Structure 1
Amino acid sequence: MDLLCGEDSSDVFSDESTAYLSSEEADSWPEESIASCIEDERHFVPGLDYLSRFHSQSLDASAREDSVSWILKVQAYYKFQPLTAYLAVNYMDRFLYARRLPETSGWPMQLLAVACLSLAAKMEEVLVPCLFDFQAEGVKYIFEAKTIQRMELLVLSVLDWRLRSVTPFSFLSFFAYKIDPLGTFLRFFLSHATKIILSNIKEASFLEYRPSSIAAAAILCVANELPSLSSAANPHESPETWCDGLSKEKIVRCYRLMKAMAIENNRRNSPKVIAKLRVSVRAVSTLMWPSEEPCSFSSSSSSSSLSSPCKRRKLSDYSWVGDDNSSSE
């Protein structure tokens, strides 16, 4: 089940190894092909009511967010391509839409995330870690390889073996050339749009939008960062002319959501101003012996709790993983 390819891996983990179109490829790729991708993308996303399940709390949005965060951590740890992380999340969402886990959180969700990331890596990466090594970056449970393999087969069965999904990365270069025909800022477009897409992948609200709308909105967000191109990146005018099948309404709404999430992220990541504690030197000196040092505190209870290692449980051979007769409700 583990794949280890022997191709030259010198450029595998570099920033240059992307699935984007070159200038020549973008020019030669007819718009009919992009329109065909837009038509086919509906087969590689969860159903329209998937987002409503999170709103009704029949699915746990926080459990999904934790799983996506873990996938992104492992992607960064192994320097996988952004597409690998996106595919893993795509597989996970499509599985959760089609089949309910025994628990909405806990070890079944973690096992699903491990299996989806393993499958995505086998699809896109040249060098793939062994199944045991995928379980890094703060996992709570450790699964045997045979358990992960059985989960992989279940995911493949539920997804009908359709792993070559249409993703936002399928459209980025084409849309970037629509705003920047000469490709002057192509690298800037691709790198920044990729960051925008991955930074928002945890947010369940983006499940409402198809890959083409997400790609177009991300390209528009990047274009508005470039003064020389901002006039050509009006989300209310240009996107629907790029290709048949694009929805201006969906792109505008997705664009506004990305802008709102960017503001929120900047607010969260802004440095906190900590008020300085003013201490009277005279007061401190009268309360200390000469041999004591100021501001030296200890707590046996807090130190013991912080130093205790996180315990991880080993799980294997659960009947539901390979049980074809389990409920799909």
Structure 2
Amino acid sequence: MSESDHIPSGIVVIISRNINFCTLVYDFFPKRKRKAMENLLCDEVWLSSPGTPDHSHDEREHCMLKGYADSFYTTKEDSEQAFVVCLEKEFSYMPEPGYLDHLQSKNLVFARFRAVQWLIKTCTRLNLSVGTVFNSANYLDRFLSVSQCHGWEHWMVELLSVACLSIASKFNETSLASLDELQMEDLDHSFQSSTIQQMELKLLQALKWRLGSTTVYSYIELITSNIICLKCNLQKELLNQVTKTLLRAELDFRLLRYPPSVVAISALWCTLEKLFPLSYNVYLTTIMRLINQDHEDDIIKCRRIMKAWLVDPLHTLKASDEQSYYYPSSPVTVLSMERIDHHINDCRVDLSFFRIPGSNANPESSAAKRKREEE
């Protein structure tokens, strides 16, 4: 890169797994600054066209390669080291301390439940990756925890949910659904593209453009790909079952008090116990040695909540429904689903409702504060 091609100061360069997020960053800068960024946009062809697998390989090898492609790590030692790195940075990608109390005091528990439920259903409908679900929910929680909005309304939570899923898709997916496709089902309001894009920018600013979150799924990918050695069919079944448990966990606001590593290991414990009742302790011991022993009590408590789901499938919904949530009427600047076919050119939504305090500008400060509280 020549001297004239250097990135102007103030531009944040973020490495992503796909071209869509590079394009997202690119679009938010004025044209005069875009030229310097063009050299950063990699060739999209090889990213969106993976090589055809060699079907002559046996099932085990194909399964292992798939796991390695997903996790980027090729040995057990690499995965364990990556696990430790995730543990070190997970606190900086969690909601602000006191988030659970914040949800309850703002009557947002059931609103969050509905939002996460919509994220899961929409990702399933559009065949998006599981990682997109967990990243979307992470962005939602982090934004809710820093926002100083005094009166959350139903349309505001829906707009935030759409923006979270749109950003997560651009960061994770190689093929994007349109904003209209995201809003096709299960929402009470429909938003114009310009409104969603404004909300996306507000979301990115609130998250400080830090989108490579450490989520519960980050640990599951590492553990199931290399740290636990299983035959291909068992590995696939373990991943499927534990993913279902973690999606259920995303809906339960009580688990928000625990770090992602605690929730992930608790879900693995429940799943291993179900799939391998006679030998699950062997696998569990392998996993437990990777974490701080101070978290053992939290893992037991978290697992106890998950076990309650097996007894009462509606347990999560009942817990969320205990927190009433009143939805005031929506502003005229938001389209109701009844009017989704009507195009309003001068539609504007006042996003000043979503106030973000400047005191959260340093992402490391909240992580340090959380660690002090843990101690």
Q: TM-score range by the shorter chain?
A: 0.7 to 0.9
| 1:51 aligned partner, one-letter code | L
**2: distance between equivalents of 1:173 and 1:17?**
8
| 1:38 aligns to 2:87 (yes or no) | yes
Q: CA deviation at 1:40?
A: 0.3
* Contact kept? 1:179, 1:229, Cα under 8 Å: no
Counterpart of 1:123 in 2: which secondary structure? helix
* Cα distance, 1:191–1:325 mapped onto 2, change above 3 Å: closer
Equivalent residue for 1:207, pick from 243, 256, 274 = 256
Q: CA deviation at 1:310?
A: 6.2
| 2:183 aligned partner, one-letter code | Q
Counterparts in 2 of 1:1-329, with a 5 A limit?
7-8=48-49, 20-21=70-71, 25-29=74-78, 31-55=80-104, 57-101=105-149, 103-176=151-224, 180-183=228-231, 185-225=234-274, 226-232=276-282, 239-244=287-292, 247-265=295-313, 311-312=338-339, 316-320=347-351
Counterpart of 2:251 in 1: which secondary structure? coil
| 2:351 aligned partner, one-letter code | W
* Cα distance, 1:51–1:317 mapped onto 2, change above 3 Å: same
**1: distance between equivalents of 2:216 and 2:356?**
35
**If you compute each CA radius of gyration, which structure gives the higher value, 1 or 2?**
1
| 1:317 aligned partner, one-letter code | R
More deviation in 25-34 or 147-156?
A: 25-34
Q: CA deviation at 1:150?
A: 0.3
* Contact kept? 1:84, 1:120, Cα under 8 Å: yes
- Report how many aligned residue pairs link the two structures: 283
1:16-41 deviations in Å (ceiling 9; x for gaps): 6997448x724141634322210100
Q: CA deviation at 1:124?
A: 0.7
Aligned to 2:27: none
Name stretches of at least 5 consecutive residues in structure 1 with no aligned partner. 270-308
**2: distance between equivalents of 1:241 and 1:326?**
39
Name stretches of at least 5 consecutive residues in structure 2 with no aligned partner. 1-19, 25-43, 53-62, 318-335, 361-375
Q: CA deviation at 1:182?
A: 4.5
- Calculate the TM-score normalised by the size of structure 2: 0.65
* Contact kept? 1:175, 1:219, Cα under 8 Å: no
- Calculate the TM-score normalised by the size of structure 1: 0.74
For CA contacts below 8 A with separation 6 or more, give which structure has more relative contact order. 2
* Contact kept? 1:80, 1:125, Cα under 8 Å: yes
1:94-138 deviations in Å (ceiling 9; x for gaps): 001011346423111110000000000111111111222211212
* Cα distance, 1:48–1:262 mapped onto 2, change above 3 Å: farther
Counterpart of 1:112 in 2: which secondary structure? helix
* Cα distance, 1:26–1:198 mapped onto 2, change above 3 Å: farther
| 2:338 aligned partner, one-letter code | K
* Cα distance, 1:48–1:213 mapped onto 2, change above 3 Å: same
**2: distance between equivalents of 1:323 and 1:99?**
6
Q: CA deviation at 1:54?
A: 2.7
* Contact kept? 2:76, 2:227, Cα under 8 Å: no
Instruction: Work out the percentage of aligned pairs sharing the same amino acid.
Output: 25
Q: CA deviation at 1:52?
A: 1.3
More deviation in 133-142 or 158-167?
A: 133-142
* Cα distance, 1:212–1:310 mapped onto 2, change above 3 Å: same
**2: distance between equivalents of 1:191 and 1:200?**
14
* Cα distance, 1:20–1:218 mapped onto 2, change above 3 Å: farther
C-alpha root-mean-square deviation of aligned residues, in Å? 3.6
**2: distance between equivalents of 1:190 and 1:197?**
10
